[in-house]
Amino acid sequence: MLKKLEALHVPIDCIAGTSMGAVICGLYASGMSAAAIEKALAGMDLTDVAFDREARVDQPQAVRKDNLDYPVSLPLGFSSDGVRSASGLIQGNRLLALLQQHTGRLPGDVNFDDLPVPFRAVATDIETGDKIVLRRGSLPQAIPASMAVPGLFAPVALEGRTLVDGGIADNLPVDVAKQMGADIVIAVDIGTPLKRANQLTSMASVTQQVIGALISQNVRSQRANLGAADILLRPDLSGLAFTDFADAGRGIAAGAVAVDSSQVQISALSLTPQAWTAYLAGRNEHAFLPEGTKVDRVEVVANGRVPASRVRQALRTKPGDAYDPRTIEQDLAALNSTSDFENVADSLTGTDGDRVLRVTANSKSWGPNFLLFGLGLQSNFSGDGAFALRVGHRSRGSRKAGLNGVTTPCSAAAI
């Protein structure tokens, strides 16, 4: 859709997004063209990114063995307080790494008004239900907060709040765009129709229906804010679910068709080639970190059982080094791959002479003892078969320099 608007030379002076829309809008606001976004996402398996799947070659040997013996991934553990589960099936670490990779030139305390395209992300405060409009801070941390679908993605702690998907409060942020000063709003409604009662055949479908009902209510409210000059696009996404990341091409094609259906109205907003070139040249790039920016201090905040020394040991960046986002992300990816952490994130804040690289590492909150599950099937192809249910227990004992883990099969059943 953005690619079509660019081809028509339609200037976008500000942009606001919710949920998956915040991902695309945030990358576009950071200065990436629509073609650059498409190229960056086309070269990877988006399902693997969304669901935190790592290549085996990137995993430590102990994690590889656990995943081979116990391939059923359920985030369950126990402690002296009893059995606990994670706050979401997916922690979103690979998505965070992807966003940091493409927005590494931006500081972690940037004002979103200072981006090449002013931007807002919409999230929901899970404690109050209030709509939260994110205006500044770490762009790659704000975006996942906007798309943390309850139950699927873990909530995101940001600025003293616990945030989940913004679609619950405002899935079509027309009001946010108008508050940013937009005279004409191009609103994109990607909502899907609610299902009939006889189509709700599982707990998951009922939960999705409830969330969909909440979203449809706030979308109707926002559509009422559209004026005569505004444009509403409704791409046909029937048959696509939120989790159909591997089918993103269908969504892109549907967006292009929606723009074509309103091309007469949209073309009235087009600039001449000369004006379009001047518009692109006039985008603000002052927010980007200068080449050769130095890291003056390194701060590590470790929450949980994993000691800060373990995180420091894994970081190659030291005070006085040039800020290199790629090196830092490689180090954080290595930490995440150990399976000891719920999430690890970084941000560079401050001004020249006092640039602080802050790394926050959260140990898995459902430990320190973790339950692992596996299911084995076998057959002699002569009518005899068996299955085995395996349950493992992985404990992590603290060491002075880090952690060590032992996996023990707890029980197995075969029939």
- CA 143, CA 134: separation in Å to the nearest integer? 9
Q: Which residue has the tokens 């070269």?
A: 43
* Of the listed ranges 4-13, 88-97, 193-202, 275-284, the one predicted with least confidence: 193-202
What the block records as the tokens of 124 is 């929901």
Among 19, 87, 138, 146, which one carries the catalytic annotation?
19
Report how far apart, in Å, the C-alpha atoms of 341 and of each of 211, 231, 330, 364 are: 29, 44, 15, 5
Q: Looking at the predicted structure, is the pLDDT value of residue 310 above 70?
A: yes
Residue 409 reports pLDDT greater than 60: no
> What is the predicted pLDDT for the residue at 210?
82
- Please answer whether residues 259 and 187 qualify as being in contact, where contact means their C-beta atoms are separated by less than 8 angstroms: no
pLDDT tens digit string along 164-208? 999 999 999 999 999 999 999 999 998 777 888 888 888 777 877
Classified by CATH at the fold level, domain 1-52+90-285 comes out as Cytosolic phospholipase A2 catalytic domain (3.40.1090)
Amino acid 207: pLDDT = 77
* CATH number given to 290-363: 3.10.20.310
361 phi, psi to nearest 5 deg: -120, 120
Q: Residue 381 is encoded by which pair of tokens?
A: 């192809």
Output the CA torsion sign for 95, 30, 222, 255. Answer: negative
pLDDT, average across residues 207-230: 88
Residue 33 amino acid letter: S
Of 131, 121, 142, 169, nearest to 17 by C-alpha is 121
Helical pair 93-102 and 139-146, crossing angle rounded to 10 deg? 140
- For residue range 79-108, list pLDDT tens digits in order: 888 888 988 888 999 999 999 999 999 999
Average pLDDT taken over every residue of the chain: 87
Specify whether 19 is catalytic.
Answer: yes
**How many C-beta neighbours within 10 Å does residue 136 have?**
14
The answer to whether residue 165 is catalytic is yes
- Which candidate in 52, 66, 165, 331 is catalytic? 165
Q: What Cα–Cα distance (Å) separates residue 371 from each residue in 73, 74, 367?
A: 10, 8, 9
How far is 152 from 12, CA to CA, in rounded Å?
32
